[in-house]
Amino acid sequence: MTNIERHQYDVVVIGAGGAGLRAAIEARLAGKRTAIISKSLFGKAHTVMAEGGAAAALGNVNSNDSWMVHFRDTMRGGKFLNNYRMAELHAKEAPERIWELETYGALFDRTPDGRISQRNFGGHEYPRLAHVGDRTGLELIRTLQQKIVSLQQEDKRQYGSYEARLRVFAETTITELLLAEDPAGGRRCAGAFGYYRETGELVVFESAAIVLATGGVGKSYKVTSNSWEYTGDGHALALRAGGTLVNMEFLQFHPTGMVWPPSVKGILVTESVRGDGGVLTNTEGKRFMFDYVPDVFRKQYADTPEEADRWYTDPDHNRRPPELLPRDEVARAINSEVKAGRGTAAGGVYLDVSGRLPAETIRRKLPSMYHQFKELADVDITAQPMEVGPTCHYVMGGVEVDADSAAAAVAGLFAAGEVSGGMHGSNRLGGNSLSDLLVFGKRAGEYAARYTDGLGSRPRPAAADVEAAAEAALAPLTRGEGGENPYQLHQELQAVMGDLVGIIRRRAELEEALARLADLKERVAKVGATGGRRYNPGWHLALDLRNMLVVSECTARAALEREESRGGHTREDFPGMDPQWRQVNLVCSLDGDDVRLERKPLPEIPAELLRLFDRAEMAKYLTEAELAAFDEVAGEVES
């Protein structure tokens, strides 16, 4: 392994979505030589998919909004499992981060008085999402991308080269972090090892500070709205470097994503389709939701189709159709129907609005849905049912970090955005993701730069580690056709996760999943890729599989351990939320090749933040002992 290209940087940012680009901007503004490593082309990151907006308490549309209200909404959404400090920083700093984007050239939609317009979104008390139509994520990524170019232009004027202090390595994948002995004890980051997708050449980045901003894990699931890049790279890199993952059992699924045809698989079908009269039926043609109304909801939900249908025109004298039950109930029902063999071949049920409303009304009420499916799949939702099922959307869990500095457990390692954990607790509110990227991306870049300031010497990756990483990266090519087929393994992994660790979980299924993952782990170790090193997707997938597998194992283990239902984790055998479990974070680490799971207490919410909530609400979440403490805190205010 003599010919490995080497680069030296002060800060290396892995990932070029919102969080990565914002981190890189901050590190460069702090004067650091910074590299951005992007798995795809510059500007294609999954951030472009975000539609709704970026939540920030700007108070432009309702001046009652403030960081405190935003904080409260975020904690409620996460069912109080959030790292409170992250939620606090996020709510406080999001407005600055949004305004800053305007100085980079972003053009948000406006209010009549010319300020940034904000829209309502589920879980947010006030209109709070700064947006640009339904392409806010694209605006965010393009703005940051263009800000990076403008910094490069400054460097060109000053140093004669665009890439003097900030360089984007497009289509480059990192497969391993490199460590070195830390004079302060333990090990610290020394660099990152990877390959150029285009040429297949190997490359080493020597850097004391590394920011992970690699996004999520959705590609381990059969049905997902995530892009191919979402293979949990950052999660796995952190684990293998000695970092820890928190909250990995919490994944956000949407109950109705398209499962067929393949061209739109994973794309979300908005809930308003059901609100506007859409009904769910199984392959026997039965409108099955009537069988799934839980007792507590009997009073509000109709038990005959006749009554349900009258509700649309006369909601005051009829009960609601059961299709409008909360998301988890709908998901549970779909899940049960499919598992009972009454689902479609693709693993979904039918959602039909075509027989219910005139075509013209559907087109008027659901214009973007209509056009999306017409254009992408030639599915005419005014004429035929949609085939829907749960789709994997976002992972709340991620690298365990210090709230203020975004620093992970390994010295020199930082994480921001979807790859980090804690901020969203057990469930993320819509719109909080884009602002999360900006707030913690900036912090990660800032603290990574600061970390390098305090270093005496630059750590050097050991030659042996580089050799080992190179060998591991090239191993699938060496095995060639004799190895396991990566596409086949990927499909099997997606089936295990989709069928057994999906939206609704049970002990027996989770145990079976773990057994099958163990089997897959052995086979992934023998994966082979045919062809050469030049832009070979089979080889790339073979390398990604290892990451997907270890992250999937973390999710399955944590899901088995947490015996309650909360936010993005629903256990059919433990349907209730348990205050005892609210005090516990499940933390994963690697012990050799095995995932180790530990219970850790949550950080205690300080009194001044607790006072933002009222007692009746807290009673749902806290244990008796905690409630007594809460009363004491609340009492202090009154006395």
Nearer to other proteins, 421 or 486 (CB): 486
Rounded to a whole number of angstroms, the minimum distance from the CB of residue 257 to other proteins is 12
Closer Cβ to other proteins, 149 or 628, answer by number: 149
Q: Does 146 bind other proteins (CB under 8 A)?
A: yes
Does residue number 581 form part of the binding site for other proteins (CB under 8 A)?
A: no
Piece in contact with other proteins (CB under 8 A), picked from 178-186, 396-404, 462-470, 532-540: 532-540
Beta strands in 435-550 (DSSP E): 504-505
Q: Is 386 left (phi over 0), alpha (psi -120 to 50) or beta?
A: beta
Give the β-pairing of 11-14 and 209-212.
Answer: parallel
Q: Which of 103, 457, 580, 639 binds other proteins (CB under 8 A)?
A: 103
Give least dist CB 345 to other proteins, A: 4
Q: How far apart are CA 312 and CA 275, in angstroms?
A: 9
Q: Select from 186-194, 525-533, 563-571, 625-633 the region that touches other proteins (CB under 8 A).
A: 525-533
3-class DSSP state of 113: coil
Asked if residues 426 and 567 have their Cβ atoms less than 8 Å apart, the reply is yes
Amino acid letter at 120? Answer: N
Q: Which residue has the tokens 């391993």?
A: 176
Q: Which stretch binds other proteins (CB under 8 A): 92-100, 122-130, 587-595, 629-637?
A: 92-100
User: For other proteins, which residue of 530, 561, 602, 611 counts as binding (CB under 8 A)?
Assistant: 530
Residue 382 as a binder of other proteins (CB under 8 A): the answer is: no
* 354 contacts other proteins (rule: CB under 8 A): no
Is position 274 annotated as part of the catalytic site?
Answer: yes
In angstroms, give the least distance from the CB of 292 to other proteins.
21
Nearer to other proteins, 387 or 465 (CB): 387
- Min separation Cβ 555 and other proteins, Å: 23
- Residue 142 touches other proteins, criterion: CB under 8 A: yes
Within 208-267, the residues that bind other proteins by CB under 8 A are: 227-229, 259-264, 267
Residue 386 pairs in a beta bridge with 351
Task: State how far the Cα of 121 lies from the Cα of 136, in Å rounded to an integer.
Answer: 14
User: According to CB under 8 A, which residues from 274 to 313 bind other proteins?
Assistant: 283
128, 142, 274, 569: the active-site residue = 274
Does the footprint of other proteins cover residue 99 (CB under 8 A)? yes
Q: Which two tokens stand for residue 138?
A: 């694209």
- Residue 384 interacting with other proteins (CB under 8 A): yes
Q: Is 539 in the site for other proteins (CB under 8 A)?
A: yes
Binding residues among 162-181 for other proteins as defined by CB under 8 A: 162, 170
The answer to whether 310 is a known catalytic residue is no
The site map against other proteins for 606-635 (x = CB under 8 A) is: ------------------------------
How many residues touch other proteins under the rule CB under 8 A: the total is 80
537 is a site residue for other proteins (CB under 8 A): yes
CB 171 within 8 A of CB 41: yes
Rounded CA separation 235/212 (Å): 9
Query: Considering the rule CB under 8 A, would residue 14 count as an interface residue with other proteins?
Result: no
Name which of 151 and 595 has its Cβ closer to other proteins: 151
Cβ atoms < 10 Å from Cβ of 304 = 11
SS in 3 state form for 261-303?
A: CHHHCCCECCCHHHHCCCEEECCCCCCHHHHHCCHHHCCCECC
Among 93, 387, 436, 564, binds other proteins (CB under 8 A): 387
Question: Alpha-carbon distance 156 to 178, whole Å?
Answer: 31
Find the binder of other proteins among 346, 472, 584, 607 (CB under 8 A). 346
Residue placing its CB nearer to other proteins in the complex, 419 or 423: 419
Binding segment (CB under 8 A) for other proteins, from list 269-277, 372-380, 557-565, 631-639: 372-380
Kind and range of the H or E element at 210?
A: strand 209-212
Distance CA 79, CA 424 (A): 9
Q: How far is the CB of 120 from other proteins (least distance, A)?
A: 18
Span near other proteins by CB under 8 A; candidates 100-108, 439-447, 450-458, 591-599: 100-108
User: How crowded is the C-beta side of 624, counted as CA atoms within 13 Å?
Assistant: 0
Q: Which residues pair with 333 in a beta bridge?
A: none
Give Cβ neighbours of residue 509 (< 8 Å, ≥ 6 apart). 499, 500, 501
Q: Based on the number of CB atoms within 10 Å of its own CB, is 627 exposed (0-12), middle (13-18) or buried (19 or more)?
A: middle
Residue 42 or 297: the one with the smaller Cβ distance to other proteins is 42
| Cβ closest to other proteins, residue 478 vs residue 488 | 488
Phi first, then psi, for residue 242 (nearest 5°) are 105, 10
For residue 439, state whether it binds other proteins (rule: CB under 8 A): no
Backbone angles phi, psi at 94, to 5 degrees: -55, -45
How far is Cα of residue 279 from the mean position of the Cα atoms in its chain?
29
Q: Minimum Å distance from CB 170 to other proteins?
A: 8
CA 361, CA 350: separation in Å to the nearest integer?
A: 20
DSSP H or E run through 497: helix 486-500
Residues 396-425 that bind other proteins (CB under 8 A): none
Report the alpha-carbon distance of residue 10 to residue 549 in Å, rounded. 31
Region of 5-13, 104-112, 320-328, 445-453 interacting with other proteins (CB under 8 A): 104-112
List 254, 490, 557, 562, catalytic entry: 254
Residue 341 DSSP one-character state: I
- Catalytically active residues are 254, 274
